[in-house]
A and B are shown apart, each in its own frame.
Chain A
Amino acid sequence: MKIIIVGCGKVGLTLAHNLTNEKHDIILVDKSQLVLDNAMLSIDCMSVIGNGAIQSVLIEAQVETADYLIACTSSDEINILTCLMARKSSKCRTIARIRNPEYAKQLEYIMSELDITMTINPELATAREILRIIKYPKSITSSSFFKGRLNSLLIEIPENSKIVGVKLSDANKYLKCNILICVIERNGEIIIPNGNSIIEKNDKILFVADNKNVLSFFSEIGYAYKQLSSFMIIGAGRITHYLVNLLLKNIPNCSIKVVEKDLSSCEDLASKFPNISVVHADATEKNVLIKEGMNDVGAFITLTGLDEENIILALLANNTKTKSIAKVNHLNFADAVKDMPIGSIVNPERIAANIILSYVRAAADSRDSDIDTLYRLFDERIEAMGFRIKTESIVTNIKIKDLKLKKNVVIAGIYRNGNVIMPNGFDELIVGDSVVIITKDNKFKNITEIVEQH
């Protein structure tokens, strides 16, 4: 595919690097010749100098023939304008980085009105990633469908879990929770299980469940951990705003303390979230953190603007009781400190780039198909794809147990009228449903291809 990337910051370059390695044609647009020259030395791409929001620049970047345009300059407004201009002069799909929390509320409107295919907010994505780390610390990866209502998680079964040796068809009765185990990895081999499969210890499993059932499943299989409920956050930037919001919504009865040295930022945050405690202090000063109870919190999250400060503070706080999470922007730093005793490291640029990458990859693979979302798991050996059923077909209005599904195909979830249905053999697919299909060694372009055809 031909992809134009406007803005060669960390996100833009990470994207360009990965996408060229995946054989896409990349055209970089940036205002600075210096940045482009440096990029061209290591990335096999073309470059156009100029402001991407100017039509002539976009035309020089051959926007007419491009499949995608990704606007990731530091300015939301330029990104929006760039996407708008690109849509006006070509049929390419557009992805914009929009990070200002104030625009978040009208995001849907902006997207539909300006025909932007996807927006990415690195700070919000980072906040979500931190939330995931806090909520499901044992999961290896997780992805979500139906706007976050259905999750697929990859976990390792602990040795003495009570689920070991249980037949899958009995699992839900046995565990008192509603989940669906879709894939098992055993000694490097990938199995799509059926009802008679038995779970063994040290299996890695991929299961889907809605938010409520994920937690109960975790505790049922023996990850008896207490939900972290007290958080100390250093720094009151954008990520903090998003994170506090997410924590308050997703973790009941949590207590949050934010330490920030800028008074107006403190006031801003305090006025927005009256239920949390905001402390105006310099976290790097001696005893401040001890005084505020650093050693008693469940998670210690450092989100200041300085990578060094984040790393050092996180090192200071990490102990058996407290899990520390540090935000590190600089990619080199993130690589250098990944073996240090810090609970987790989040990198907003990498998170944003990965989200866009998986989207573009999915788009490249699902061209001329009905796939809405596509994830690749287990080193890309398993595909999880979301379909929307638009018309009546051979798969609709028939009980799932009566469908002659192809080998290694699982219907993992149905989304109907705002509700998630964990399908069993007696459910039917109807027009208007969204469906998640998990499969191995199959390539589908259309939902009807999941059944054997004669």
Chain B
Amino acid sequence: MNIKKVLNHIGIMMILEAILMIIPFIVSLIYNESVGKIFIYCIIVLLIIGFFLFKFFVSDNKFYSAEGFVTVSLGWIVLSLFGALPFYFSREIPNFIDALFETVSGFTTTGATILSNPSNLSKCINFWRCLTHFVGGMGVLVLMLAIIPTKSENMQIMKAESPGPQVGKLVSKVSHTARTLYYIYIFLTALAIISYIISGMPIYDSICIGFGTAGTGGFVVTSNGCAAYSELSQTLIAIFMLLFGVNFNIYFLILIGKIKDAFFSEELRVYFIIVIISVTVIVLNIFNLYGNFNKTFHTAFFHVSSIITTTGFAIGDFSKWPEFSQTILLFLMICGGCAGSTAGGIKVSRIILSYKAATNELYTQLHPDSVKIIKFEDKPIQKDTIRTVLCYVVIYVIFILAGIALISLENYDFATTVSSVFETFNNIGQGLSKVGPTGNFSIFNSFSKLIFIVLMLTGRLEIFPIIMLFSKKTWKRSI
């Protein structure tokens, strides 16, 4: 374990976080909020520690996958700890566990909150809260790779931080790939924010909701969520949420003119088919509640889009929906968006691969000598990839079950317990029953909140990096 190099990278990340904190400070100046000076203190602390790590831990040694995993998981933890400081020091979230929960929920783009009314927060603090979504969506380390000149080792970091079973490069250099991803990300976010403003949303809300949409986070700035905005704005939000749930490689393909390839992507097709089927089924199921087709469709589409992309915005209380529709939403929570997007969940591509592996297995049971190759996006998939995907699903289930067992100690109803674990682990931020659109996480005790923090981080980093961090083998001298 080359801990020096890891600490060096974490130093750079902290400096980056300090730079990012300048933005909410500027917001505090605009709104003339004295609480903004908190950010100056945090920036100073981050810069001092960051520069110390960056300057004093220099190593040219090689960087292998263990270092990549540890950099990512340790980096995210450090980032969250320091990101929580503004909330804590400003006394707007007086409990540190709560502040940490809120920050982790932000960086992991979960959007679960312990606040009953976010509009009570000062503007700059609330802005920082929403900015964490934007930063966490594409990944802090990817941002680091995009900015600093890099070497080949950084593919390890990119692999550990990016969601999805297969991490490809768009162009041959990691740093160019990271930069391209960020360009696309920033462009789409800007597009979202501008269209929100045009649709009549207040500018501050547009930017915050824009960040929430981009990172598929789900923090809102008003007490009644997205219900506060016009129907046009809500439709735009729903559409942009869907767009951010799409694999960013697709946008790259469109960018370089391979539009045909982009639209024939298997994952994209399945993703849209899932959305269409879910909307149809839910519309049929909840039609009685609203009575009006337009209203029903609008509500169903908004929530399906919000849940499958693991954003977690709400315009109504879907906990009041019939059980069937709620179950569909629960399924969508597990499914999640496309690989290589900012969404959480298992990811559509993993679902497709697991399904194909399962059908293949059934076939080979009947015809033991048959040779079958699993193809995805028209390319044969290595057995190793399939194995990793299946392992991922198994570990995923284990984490969910363990989470449910630990949270059930609180003795809430089943829907609350299960959906709270689902929504944190899949980084959605919107559950059912007591953690539904009208509830929040302040009902849980500190122990449960810590469990949720771990679940959110594990879910965002796709399990393996966090396990590696706590695995003894990672830290031993490699033998």
Q: Which of A's residues lie within 8 Å of B, judged by CB? A: 2, 20, 25-27, 33, 40-46
Contact B152 A26 (CB under 8 A): no
Interchain CA distance A43-B172 in the complex, whole Å: 10
A-B pairs, top 7 by smallest CB distance, nearest first, are: A44-B152, A46-B172, A25-B172, A45-B172, A46-B169, A43-B152, A44-B174
A-B contact count (CB 8 A): 30
Q: Which residue of A lies closest to B149 (CB)?
A: A23
Number of interface residues of B (CB under 8 A): 16
Neighbouring B residues of A33 by C-beta, 8 Å: 382
- Given contacts A44-B151, A44-B155, 13 further A-B pairs with CB under 8 A are A2-B172, A20-B152, A25-B171, A26-B172, A27-B172, A40-B155, A42-B152, A42-B153, A43-B152, A44-B150, A44-B172, A46-B171, A46-B172
Neighbouring A residues of B153 by C-beta, 8 Å: 42
Interface centre among B154, B172, B173, B174 (most CB of A within 10 A): B172
A41-B156 contact in complex given A25-B172, A27-B172, C-beta closer than 8 Å: yes
Q: Which residue of A lies closest to B151 (CB)?
A: A44
- Chain B nearest CB from A181 CB (Å) reads 40
Interchain CA distance A44-B171 in the complex, whole Å: 10
Q: Which residue of A lies closest to B385 (CB)?
A: A33
Interchain CA distance A40-B171 in the complex, whole Å: 13
Interchain CA distance A41-B65 in the complex, whole Å: 8
Interchain CA distance A20-B173 in the complex, whole Å: 9
Main SS of chain A's interface residues? mixed
- Chain A nearest CB from B386 CB (Å) reads 13
Over the window 174-189 of chain B, the binary record of Cβ atoms lying under 8 Å from chain A Cβ atoms (1 yes, 0 no) is 1010000000000000
29 contacts between A and B (CB under 8 A): A2-B172, A25-B171, A25-B172, A25-B173, A25-B176, A26-B172, A27-B172, A33-B382, A40-B155, A41-B64, A41-B65, A41-B155, A41-B156, A42-B152, A42-B153, A43-B152, A44-B150, A44-B151, A44-B152, A44-B154, A44-B155, A44-B172, A44-B173, A44-B174, A45-B152, A45-B172, A46-B169, A46-B171, A46-B172
Q: Which residue of B lies closest to A40 (CB)?
A: B155
- Chain A nearest CB from B29 CB (Å) reads 41
Neighbouring A residues of B154 by C-beta, 8 Å: 44
Neighbouring A residues of B65 by C-beta, 8 Å: 41
- Chain A nearest CB from B385 CB (Å) reads 9
Neighbouring B residues of A25 by C-beta, 8 Å: 171-173, 176
Q: Which of B128-180 contact A (CB under 8 A)?
A: 150-156, 169, 171-174, 176
- Chain B nearest CB from A3 CB (Å) reads 9
Interchain CA distance A2-B150 in the complex, whole Å: 18
Interchain CA distance A33-B155 in the complex, whole Å: 17
Interchain CA distance A45-B65 in the complex, whole Å: 17
- Chain A nearest CB from B353 CB (Å) reads 16
Interchain CA distance A400-B382 in the complex, whole Å: 66
Interchain CA distance A444-B139 in the complex, whole Å: 45
Q: Which residue of A lies closest to B152 (CB)?
A: A44
Interface centre among A20, A41, A42, A44 (most CB of B within 10 A): A44
Neighbouring A residues of B150 by C-beta, 8 Å: 44
Q: Which residue of B lies closest to A42 (CB)?
A: B152
Q: Which of B165-219 contact A (CB under 8 A)?
A: 169, 171-174, 176
Q: Which of B290-336 contact A (CB under 8 A)?
A: none
Neighbouring B residues of A45 by C-beta, 8 Å: 152, 172
- Chain A nearest CB from B71 CB (Å) reads 15
Q: Which residue of B lies closest to A25 (CB)?
A: B172
Over the window 36-73 of chain B, the binary record of Cβ atoms lying under 8 Å from chain A Cβ atoms (1 yes, 0 no) is 00000000000000000000000000001100000000
Interchain CA distance A46-B153 in the complex, whole Å: 14
Interchain CA distance A45-B151 in the complex, whole Å: 10
- Chain A nearest CB from B107 CB (Å) reads 27
Interchain CA distance A11-B172 in the complex, whole Å: 19
Neighbouring B residues of A40 by C-beta, 8 Å: 155
Interface centre among B154, B155, B176 (most CB of A within 10 A): B155
